[in-house]
Chain A
Amino acid sequence: MNSDQINYLLQGAYGTLLLSVLTFVFASILGLVIALMRVSDNTLVRQTAFGYINIIQGTPLLVLMGVCFYGPSILGYSSVPALFAAVLALTVQSSAFLGEIWRGCIESVPQSQWEAAECLGLNRVQRMFKVILPQALRIATPPTVGFMVQIVKNTSFASLVIGFAELSYNAKILNNATFKPFLYFGAAAVLYFIICYPLSWMSLRLERKLTLARN
């Protein structure tokens, strides 16, 4: 492997990181909305969020990628940028999963806290944002960090339909040129590991800390 090839792989790693960060930012925003909809008092809002989660979780990411990539051209926007389509598909998918994770976290805040907030005369928005969400955030941190690993790994789907140049795509290109699959896919695996391992380690540590704090 010469320095050009290493550079090319690192460029791919940069693409993967960019995709992961953008996805995480947008998916958090959408996921929070979904989670709040899931715990809403309004049945219609709750059912809408439930339907959204069910539909997205029953769809393979590759199909979502295809719909997000070719869909806009039906609406008249010809050739959307690959990055846009990839981030859109990953955001839609991750938001459904994050919404479901965070709903669990919101619901695991003890009932007495909800009642206490009501007794203090807080309205619904204040109760959610000043009492419930800060506590849910502590519970939600370990699974969220764990899910970030999943997002990083899911970015490798972006090259299959859309052709966004991320790590696994660049490894494939190098393999096509040199016929050394083990070297380049091995190097890509190492780079993925370098990105993901700190996240899983952090998730495990946060989880332990939380269990200690609870007991």
Chain B
Amino acid sequence: MPILVGAILALVINITAYTCEIVRAGIESVPRSQREAGECLGLSPLQVYWHVILVPALERVYPALTSQFILLMLVTSVLSAVGTEDLFGISGNIQALTFRNFEVFLVLWVVYLAMSFLVRAAFTLAGKVMFVRKRRLGTLL
């Protein structure tokens, strides 16, 4: 098995366990009356599930999901333990060549910080595009 496949598989297994708990909490936070109101309005079960339950639930837990994905991005540094050529893995080669461990780690620190801010900004932007209701009304659910 190629290293990348194994690494991605491990991350997917790990992150799934966390995100599914987050999304579950979101779905459970939708009051039963909302579901019933949706049914009363004559929406089909599929429409109720999508428009009344799933999308509002995702909107509620979106900040938590964002944090989880940033943590995922940071945790990719661990994959260098199995030999992936990510930022952290490559930096190991540079350290071995130059013996300037501390300087390399400082640069890594700045790069990872910048990446985490960029990912957060990207997710915030994506959230604005995805959640139409919030964009139009600007209120919390």
Residues of A bordering B, CB below 8 Å: 55, 57-64, 66-67, 69-71, 73-74, 157, 160
Contacts and interface: CB of A to CB of B under 8 A. Distances in A.
Interface in B26-61: none
For chain B, the bracket of interface size reads 10 to 19
A160 B82 CA distance: 11
B43 to A, nearest CB: 31
A70 B101 contact: yes
B112 A63 contact: yes
A62 B88 contact: yes
Given A63-B109, A67-B102, A67-B105, A58 B70 contact: yes
B75 interface: yes
Interface of B: 70, 74-75, 77-78, 81, 88, 101-102, 104-106, 108-109, 112-113, 116-117
B88 A74 contact: no
A187 B10 CA distance: 19
A69 B106 CA distance: 12
A55 B109 CA distance: 9
B113 A157 contact: no
B88 A58 contact: no
B101 A66 contact: yes
A62 B105 CA distance: 9
B108 A66 contact: yes
Contacts of B81: 160
Among A58, A70, A73: residue with most chain B CB under 10 A: A58
A190 B130 CA distance: 42
B102 A71 contact: yes
Contact of A58 (B75, B102, B116): B116
23 contacts: A57-B70, A58-B70, A58-B113, A58-B116, A58-B117, A59-B113, A60-B88, A61-B74, A62-B77, A62-B78, A63-B88, A63-B105, A63-B109, A66-B101, A66-B102, A67-B105, A67-B106, A67-B109, A70-B101, A70-B102, A71-B105, A74-B102, A160-B78
Contacts, number: 51
Interface centre among A66, A74, A157 (most CB of B within 10 A): A66
A165 to B, nearest CB: 16
A5 B78 CA distance: 26
A167 to B, nearest CB: 15
Nearest to B81: A160
A66 B88 CA distance: 11
A66 B105 contact: yes
Given A70-B101, A70-B102, A157-B78, A63 B116 contact: no
A28 B77 CA distance: 26
A203 B58 CA distance: 26
Contacts of A71: 102, 105
Contacts of A64: 109
8 interchain residue pairs of minimum CB distance = A58-B116, A66-B105, A70-B102, A60-B77, A60-B74, A70-B101, A62-B77, A58-B113
